[in-house]
Amino acid sequence: MPHLPEHLLAGYRNFMSGRYPAESGRYRSLAREGQAPETMIVACCDSRSAPEAIFDAGPGELFVLRNVGNLVPPYAPDGEFHSTSAALEFAVQSLKVKNIVVMGHGRCGGIRAALDPNSAPLSPGDFIGKWMSLIAPAAETVSSSTFMTATERQTALERISIRYSIANLRTFPCVSILEGKGRLSLHGAWFDISTGELWVMNKETGDFERPELA
Ligand SMILES: [Zn+2]
């Protein structure tokens, strides 16, 4: 008796009878030749903001890193455990991706926890609180604004965190060198779960705008 929840087995049955036969050639060539995705996505763990679904991506197309709040910490070669930095290093130096997209999303629980440290869902060990403290200065500034509603503060910090992560990407020497040579582009995006709208960061202004979908 396999030890997986039934809904996962049911999903896998669908995969093996639908998507896999349709894409088996692609899977086989990826297995033979290895992956060569051109784009890395840094997204939140949130089950509602899956990059492969939003960008309609097949196998081998996106190198996806997901963590709480889609944060990239600053470059810190200190011998500690840095899973996000390890994935970034692999994507940039081994896979030689051409694009990195930091994608935030609306109603992010991690961002909500950063705005209100007393809110759920902080774990007993408070790993989330420690992780989200990366954006504590921005969270404090946004929280102190009495001119914004709670929703506006939430959206503002979600977008600030994307710009923050992009700035931190540039603290990694491998990223800044390749970006300087024009071989790597950094992008920001924000996904509105309720409407499906994707907002893309304007690189010059840092504002988020709806892309033209002709
Ligand atoms: Zn989130």
pLDDT digit string (tens) for 59-96? 999 999 999 999 999 999 999 989 999 999 999 999 99
* pLDDT recorded at residue 98: 98
pLDDT at position 29 is 97
Give the other-Cβ count within 10 Å of 172's Cβ: 21
Q: Give strand pairing partners of 62.
A: 39
How many whole angstroms separate alpha carbon 75 and alpha carbon 52? 27
Cis peptide bond upstream of 117, omega within 30: no
Q: Can you say which residues are annotated as belonging to the binding site for Zn(2+)?
A: 44, 46, 105, 108
pLDDT category at 214 given cuts 50, 70, 90 is confident
Tokens of 94: 């081994």
Average pLDDT over residues 11-29: 96
pLDDT tens per residue, range 120-148: 555 556 788 889 999 999 999 999 999 99
User: Among residues 54, 154, 163, 164, which one has the least CA distance to residue 108?
Assistant: 154
pLDDT in tens, 143-197: 999 999 999 999 999 999 999 999 999 999 999 999 999 999 999 999 999 999 9
Centroid of ligand 1 to alpha carbon of 26 (angstroms): 31
pLDDT at 116: 85
Tokens of 27: 């899977």
The percent of residues above 70 in pLDDT, for the chain, comes to: 95
Q: Given a cut of 90, is residue 34 above it in pLDDT? A: yes
Query: What pLDDT sits at residue 120?
Result: 59
Residues, Cβ < 5 Å to ion ligand 1: 44, 46, 108, 110
73, 89 Cβ separation under 8 angstroms? no
From the CA of 140, how far away is ligand 1's center (Å)? 18
What is the b/e burial string over 18-46, where b = at least 16 CB atoms within 10 angstroms of the residue's CB?
eeeeeeeeeeeebeeeeeebebbbbbbeb
Strand partners, 65: 42
Radius of gyration of the chain (CA): 19
List beta partners, residue 103. 43, 189
Q: Indicate the annotated binding residues.
A: 44, 46, 105, 108
Cα of 3 from ligand 1 centre, angstroms: 29
- Work out the mean pLDDT of the chain and round it to a whole number: 94
Q: Burial level of 64, CB count in 10 A (0-12/13-18/19+)?
A: buried
Quote the percentage of the chain above a pLDDT of 90: 87
Go through the domains of the chain in sequence order and give each one's CATH number: 1-34 (no CATH), 35-209 (3.40.1050.10)
Per-residue confidence (pLDDT) for residue 26, from 0 to 100: 96
What pLDDT, on a 0 to 100 scale, did the predictor assign at position 38? 98
pLDDT of amino acid 125: 63
